[in-house]
Amino acid sequence: MIDKQKLIDELIRLDPSLADNKRRLDETISLIIESKPEVRVDKDFRENLKRELMLKAKEKSVKRRSVLYWFLDKKIRVALGLVCLAFLIGIPAIRFLRVAPYETFSVAVDRMEALPETEEQERYAIPEALKQAAPKIAGIPAEKPVDIVRYDKAMEIDAPPLPAPSVADMVMDTDTGAHLYFEERARSLSGIPQEEAVKMESKDLPRRSRISESAKPVSEPKLTVYPPKPIDSVFLDTLRFPVLNLPLSKGYTGWDDLMSAALEKPHVPRLIAVDEVINRFDYKQGERFGDSPFAVASEGAVCLWNPETKLIFLNITALEDLRGARAVVEFDRDTVSRYRLIGFIAPTHHRETAIGYNIKAGESFAFLIEIETTEDTDGIFNLSFRWDNKDYIATVNIRDFAFDTVSNDYKLAAAIAMVAMEIRNGEYRSKNLKLAIDTLKGMDKDYLPAEVDKLIGLIEW
């Protein structure tokens, strides 16, 4: 109840005339105050009503609980405040203190756009599998964070452009080539001597033909180190392998890798694909091969890097769009004793059931085949083409093997292959880079492509 005197003062402030008879005012207020009835509340009623109301309130609150509830609860507000504070202070602090003991190990994955379209889940599983595989294979500590810097243009993700191989710690490739870079990095990171070979082993790493398997998590990939295997010969015996299927497809990154290596960037020389370097250039189209839809140019000469062997140059051009086309070389065993296809590990191309390729009109494929011949060089090999269940076979005869008489195309292909093999530091190199450069420099200046000129400049510099 309100204080009487306070009430009287207030009333006089409101109406000063009330002060004229203050005693009467006092009596009036006193009377009203004293006449306030005493109200006795039934405690049972009070408790029962509360119980009833609380039941209804709980029913209602379950249906109606909103986001606002969490903000109004004091404990939750404090907790949220602490979380925000942790973010504001904690993250810069962690960065400042560099809690992570290692920098990120970046893995660049290239050329997955060549893969067939996969389900959404598989798409995202691939980089995750790579993340798991990369540190294990490279032998880096498990705590080190791995960052996939780019894995596929075709994955519809706003990924940054693929860095140059020197930017990423590791490049993984679903096609060919990059696994060499991978192995090379693994070797250097693990301190494995250059003389020892390393092999990356993982069943589940992405491969072009096994995309569905690549989607699975990597199961314990391991790095195997084994002593260098003595190479008996880089050549294949025609008695054992009389047939060579020519791969009517080509990659395009070999030249860039060659230029990077020539620039002495940190680079893995073994990444250079010699066959891709040869196919960098357009060569003169040959004659139509019988009544087939192919044109073939073929030449041979003493091998630039090995006077004991001969080098065959083949340029095959499709004259129309072809599906499932095959090109097969069958060597005359009496003439050719051994051979190797430059830029390839030969045994992979000696299955009778070789796959066919879909090629477009105008597309051409250049090949260099190094052969060991008997004295009689007649009938070097039969070249056959097949598509649409039709076979076209003709014997390729090359009688003159003088290097001076071969075309510029031949010289360019041979010399550039030699440069690539030298810089690649491969097992089959002749260790005579100067000869290769001199050969290129001795060619007709009007013919020599500008980028080859640039390459020569880089190497000489």
Partner 1 sequence: MSEHIDRLALKFKAGDAEAFGEIYDLLFDKIYRFIYFKTYHKETAEDITSRTFLKALGGINGFNPNKARFTTWIYRIARNAVIDYYRTRKKNSDIDDIWDIKDPSDMVLDLETKEYIAKLHTALNTLSPDVREIIILRIWEGMSYREIAGIVGKSEAGCKMAFSRAVKELRGKIAIVVAVLTVLVSRIG
Residues that bind partner 1 (CB under 8 A): 1-2, 7, 11, 14-15, 17-18, 21, 24-25, 27-29, 31-33, 35-37, 39, 41-42, 45-46, 49-50, 52-54, 56-58, 60-62, 64-69, 71-73
Task: Closer to partner 1 by CB, 62 or 345: give it.
Answer: 62
Measured from the CB of residue 19, what is the shortest distance to partner 1 in angstroms? 11
Distance (Å, rounded) from C-alpha 414 to C-alpha 367?
Answer: 10
Task: Closer to partner 1 by CB, 57 or 78: give it.
Answer: 57
Measured from the CB of residue 46, what is the shortest distance to partner 1 in angstroms? 6
Measured from the CB of residue 62, what is the shortest distance to partner 1 in angstroms? 8
Asked whether 285 and 366 are in contact (CB, 8 A), the reply is no
Measured from the CB of residue 72, what is the shortest distance to partner 1 in angstroms? 5
Measured from the CB of residue 83, what is the shortest distance to partner 1 in angstroms? 20
Task: Closer to partner 1 by CB, 7 or 159: give it.
Answer: 7
Task: Closer to partner 1 by CB, 36 or 98: give it.
Answer: 36
Task: Closer to partner 1 by CB, 1 or 450: give it.
Answer: 1
Task: Closer to partner 1 by CB, 46 or 199: give it.
Answer: 46
**Residue 329 host element (H or E):** strand 322-331
Convert 251-284 to b/e letters by CB count within 10 Å (16 or more is b). Answer: bebbbbbbbbbbeeeebbbbbbbbbbbbbbbebe
Convert 337-346 to b/e letters by CB count within 10 Å (16 or more is b). Answer: ebbbbbbbeb
Q: 292 vs 139, 266, 324, 366, 405, CA distance in Å? A: 52, 46, 14, 18, 28
Task: Closer to partner 1 by CB, 37 or 160: give it.
Answer: 37
Angle at 277 between CA 264 and CA 441, to 5 degrees: 75
Measured from the CB of residue 80, what is the shortest distance to partner 1 in angstroms? 15
Task: Closer to partner 1 by CB, 54 or 93: give it.
Answer: 54
Measured from the CB of residue 10, what is the shortest distance to partner 1 in angstroms? 9
Measured from the CB of residue 29, what is the shortest distance to partner 1 in angstroms? 7
Task: Closer to partner 1 by CB, 40 or 229: give it.
Answer: 40
Distance (Å, rounded) from C-alpha 435 to C-alpha 458?
Answer: 16
Beta strands in 60-215 (DSSP E): 105-110, 146-150, 170-173, 197-201
Task: Closer to partner 1 by CB, 66 or 353: give it.
Answer: 66
Beta strands in 93-210 (DSSP E): 105-110, 146-150, 170-173, 197-201
Distance (Å, rounded) from C-alpha 172 to C-alpha 151?
Answer: 9
Distance (Å, rounded) from C-alpha 25 to C-alpha 44?
Answer: 41
Measured from the CB of residue 87, what is the shortest distance to partner 1 in angstroms? 25
**Residue 317 host element (H or E):** strand 310-318
Alpha helices in 269-355 (DSSP H): 274-278
Measured from the CB of residue 59, what is the shortest distance to partner 1 in angstroms? 8
Measured from the CB of residue 28, what is the shortest distance to partner 1 in angstroms? 5
Asked whether 200 and 186 are in contact (CB, 8 A), the reply is yes
Distance (Å, rounded) from C-alpha 223 to C-alpha 51?
Answer: 71
Distance (Å, rounded) from C-alpha 310 to C-alpha 300?
Answer: 7
Rg (CA), the chain: 41
Distance (Å, rounded) from C-alpha 315 to C-alpha 409?
Answer: 9
Torsion of CA 57, 60, 63, 65, to 10 degrees: -50
Task: Closer to partner 1 by CB, 50 or 333: give it.
Answer: 50
